[in-house]
Amino acid sequence: MSNVEKEPGPQGTTPPEPEPQQPVKRKREYKDFGEDEEKPTHANVDMSTIELKAEDLYDKEKVDLETIVIEDVFKLLQCDENGLSPEEAVRRIELFGPNKLEQDEQNALLQFLSFMWNPLSWVMEAAAVVAIILSNGEHRAPDWEDFVGIVLLLFINSAIGFYEERNAGNAVKALMDSLAPKAKVKRSGSWSEIESSDLVPGDMVAFKIGDIVPADCRLTEAINVSIDQAALTGESLPQAKKAGDQCFSGSTCKQGEAEGVVIATGSNTFFGRAASLVGQDDDTTGHLQKILAQIGAFCLVTIGIFVIAEIFTLYAGFRFAYRRGLDNILVLLIGGIPIAMPTVLSVTLAVGAQQLAKYKAIVTRITAIEELAGVTILCSDKTGTLTTNKLTIDRNTIRTYGPFSADDVVLLSAYASRTENQDAIDASVISALGDPSRARAGIKLLDFKPFNPVDKRTEITYLEESTGKLKRVTKGMTGIIIELCTRNKTDDIENKLEADVEEYASRGLRALAVAYEELDGDNPEAEGNGFELIGLLAIFDPPRTDTKQTIDDALALGVKVKMVTGDQLAIAKETGRRLGLGDHMYPAKVLKDGPAAGGRHASLDDMILDADGFAGVFPEHKYEIVKRLQGLGHLCAMTGDGANDAPALSRANVGIAVEGATDAARGAADIVLTEPGLSTIVHAIRQSRIIFQRMRNYSIYACAVTIRIVVCFSILAFAYRMDFPPFMILIIALLNDGTIMTLSVDRVLPSMHPDSWDLIEIFSFAIAYGLYLTGSTVALVNIIMETTFFQDRFGVRFTNNAYYPANANDPQVHMIVYLQVAIISQALIFITRSHGFFFMERPSVALMAAFCIAQLVSSIIAAYADWGFSAIEPISGGWIGIVWVWNIVWFIPLDWIKFAMKATVIKSIRRRRENKLAKEAAHGVPLTLTTSRATSMHESLYSNRVNFIKRAARRVGLGGKVSVQPEELQRFSSIQAQRVGATLARNPSRTPA
């Protein structure tokens, strides 16, 4: 009691003591998971005039056709529920374009020619020009033999690349084909069926169960509507829709029927926005093209230096005749350029693609195999990829509140479910029984009330045949069911239920409450003795059975897995926990807002790199995540199955469409899996690393041969004025490449870590091997020209039994040099393919057989070829034996050169790189894991889609630009309001009131 006296009331009376208030029972909020929804708003503009300014429409705070009240939608789109007039529809088609996605058609001829438009091809073409045009004169015919050989190799290479690209799937076409072909539309008050491509913003449309939504629309009427939009947004559950809600183009009506007003069509829809992102980077150079560019640049610089040196030395110094000097230069051009590198790599990749097909993986872009070997991060969609996309009752988390067991609760909830024409929830409950027939066994159905958006529950009244009693079961949303319960409902039970629902929600599980009552008498419509809460079921989309093992295997291979899903955050975290993936995940809004100030992450890039996944993402978010990870130096793979995954699949270094994926996802992907589960990805990664090792082995070999040919024959020309025949260099190249083709099936071991192209190491090995092999040839020629060692020891002779060669251009000296170069150059592959001693790693039978055949052919040519046009003559068996022994002696130390390089130069290079990365990391510079991402000044010239060719095509009218233009990365909803409102504001169809 207070000691302060109460003031007297009016007229001196004392107010009466207030009556004690009764405690008000707290109103419980059983907010099941996924119930959050945005309330409709009004357009924050003056609706008295329709002619809105473009800058207002671009401000999402003012207008958003997805969320504003439906009345404002009609005002902004200048339409009503009677639909547009046919004349107005025609006018709007001209304004907004058709409701379809258009595609770019490439000219086949220009596409084929584009494969001959890169520096490597230019050198081949230059050599062909030298052979056929510049080699005229001095009473000698053009060099037809070299010309035909070079052109043949060029066309083989281009044909392989052209065939590969023409067979690749067209993602935009797949997206376009997924649109509904027909639509039911109301024009001037009358319903009719038209092509969906003729729809325009403002049209009134209708659809029912089984139909594909023909355009983005806002519903004006909805009768028990459920929409499956998993392939668009990644949400695992079909979404119930009511009047005022938005439906996306390309989603499927699973239940009910609806009418709505179209707010966006074609490339402006949610679906179309995804299409515009697919192929956005088509003009960028692929990863393998970048590597080819840098290897090509190395070879070109090497050739260029020695060609210039020969021009000055042979013409200015030795005063060679025009044709003689040109033949020497042609030797460097033909022998120095890795003339069949693109072809050899294409064959290697093509064979690899066939091998991957054995693991049920179809490769639609074969260069993706090389990139898969270097993938450091695998971004995976959740719904349908990590999970089954099939709702399931989690029996381990069932809660019971009455005298019934968990099995009893499942059985009773199955009674309250449809056994035919089921929705996803009823199907999950029935399947939880194991035997669907039990859902009606032992009971007689008397009355059934299906789920509807108003009552939000199902109910069954049945006769239990064993006892003859009438009983009733209902299942549905927790808040609805508990309000129905009147029997045995206590505060303890309500507290327990509330805690269980909150726990479910925190784990991303949807709660389904079950209640039960008995009826007296035999009237199925009579009231029962009161519903009693008996159980709570948890519904979720379970992980695939092999997904956890797949993730563990990927981590063991050095590949980090991140979940990127359109589903809600709680569901993503629960799935991550169940898979051992981790639950350190963020909502998509952080991609716009960035990390919180003072948090653990200094930048958005750090957050993306550290996160286990992201939830609630839209297509442009997935695209942005992949793009940022690539910017940090990672090669990214992305798995998915829906149209919402298509942009990220297209952007990723390797897009992987899982089994059952939509046409849009398969079209955007580089690899398509044809059997369920992700275990195929692990097989594909291992196989791709085997293929990578084969390509790396060839790259070292090709660069070493370039050094070996260019340096060797330049030295022979400078020291002995040797004019080696260009045709024999072409023979060496053809035999070498024929053998190297078998590397595509060579036996190699995959790396346990992501592979990367360390070009400095490749070039270092190539220089060491090339100079060593140059020494082997120069030393042999020196002994032949300066001594009589072989003549004295082995009794060999030259033409006409001569003891000495006439000079360095003796046809038999040419043949000796040819045989020595041909044999040891091919033998080098056994060194480059092995990490230890060459005899410790057994080659494939195909490689060994090809090598033996090539050496046999080379020896037969040396023994019998007498081609006058090539300035060679056969040599005796003695000389052939000397060359073989000479090469064996020089071959043995090659392994020791490899080990010495690893212990000195390569070790020093790696130490310097590690120190540089450590310093960068200490200063906050993002760690670049893939060393091959360095750009090259020539890399764009190696792209198959060449800007020069495209510009030429447009000038002569042979090709057009893609009509679906890339858009800024932002929320889809705003772009619809901006385009529709802004266009109508500029072209009003009627005078505003």
Q: Are 296 and 290 in contact (CB under 8 A)?
A: no
Which residue shows structure tokens 């070039």? Answer: 763
Instruction: Tell me the pairing of strands 532-540 and 399-400.
Output: antiparallel
Whether the Cβ atoms of residue 460 and residue 445 lie closer than 8 Å to each other: yes
Strand partners, 253: 227
Instruction: Report H helices in 541-662.
Output: 547-556, 569-579, 590-593, 604-610, 619-631, 646-651
What is the separation of C-alpha 939 from the centre of its chain, rounded to a whole number of angstroms? 21
Residue 104: active-site member: no
* Long-range contacts at 139-144 (CB < 8 A, ≥ 24 apart): 140/323, 143/330, 143/726, 143/727
Closest CA to 819 of 850, 860, 868, 867: 860
Residue 266's contacts (CB-CB under 8 Å, 6 or more residues apart) are: 96, 97, 98, 99, 100, 101, 272
Which helix (H) or strand (E) is 639 found in, with range? strand 636-640
Check if the beta carbon of residue 541 is closer than 8 Å to that of residue 497: no
Which of 216, 327, 381, 500 is flagged as catalytic? 381
Q: Please count the residues of the chain.
A: 993
Question: Quick one: DSSP state of residue 720?
Answer: H
DSSP letters, 894-936, are HHHHHHHHIIIIIHHHHHHHHHHHHHHHHTTPPP---GGG---
Amino acid identity, position 782: N
Burial class, 962, CB count within 10 angstroms (exposed 0-12 / middle 13-18 / buried 19+): middle
Tokens representing 812 are 């038999």
**Distance in angstroms (rounded) separating the CA atoms of residues 887 and 817:** 11
Q: What are the distances in angstroms from CA 2 to CA 5, 10, 16, 18, 357?
A: 8, 21, 16, 15, 88
Question: Secondary structure of 220-287 in the HEC alphabet?
Answer: EEEEEEEEECHHHHCCCCCEEECCCCEECCCCEEEEEEEEEEEEECHHHCHHHHHHHHCCCCCCCCCH
Q: Phi/psi class of residue 946: alpha, beta or left (left: φ > 0; alpha: ψ in -120 to 50)? A: beta
User: For the stretch 609-645, what's the b/e string if a residue is b when 16 or more beta carbons lie within 10 angstroms of its beta carbon?
Assistant: bebbbbbbbbbbbbbbbbbbbbebbbbbbbbbbbbbb
For the record, the structure tokens of 17 come out as: 């003591």
- Say which residue the tokens 């086949």 belong to: 108
Residue 602 in contact with residue 924, Cβ under 8 Å?
yes
Q: Residue 419, Cβ neighbours under 10 Å: how many?
A: 16
594: which residues sit within 8 A by CB, 6+ positions away?
603, 604, 607
Q: Is the dihedral of CA 611, 617, 622, 623 positive or negative?
A: negative
H-helix segments, 661-725: 663-668, 679-720
Output 590-597 pairs: Cβ under 8 A, ≥24 positions apart: 590/614, 591/617, 591/621, 591/624, 591/625
**Cβ atoms < 10 Å from Cβ of 6:** 9
Cα separation, 310 vs 328, in Å, equals 8
Neighbours of 921 (CB within 10 A): 11
The CA distance from 258 to 241, in Å, is 9
Residue 151 vs residues 125, 542, 590, 601, 943: alpha-carbon distances, Å:
8, 57, 55, 56, 21
Enumerate the active-site residues: 381
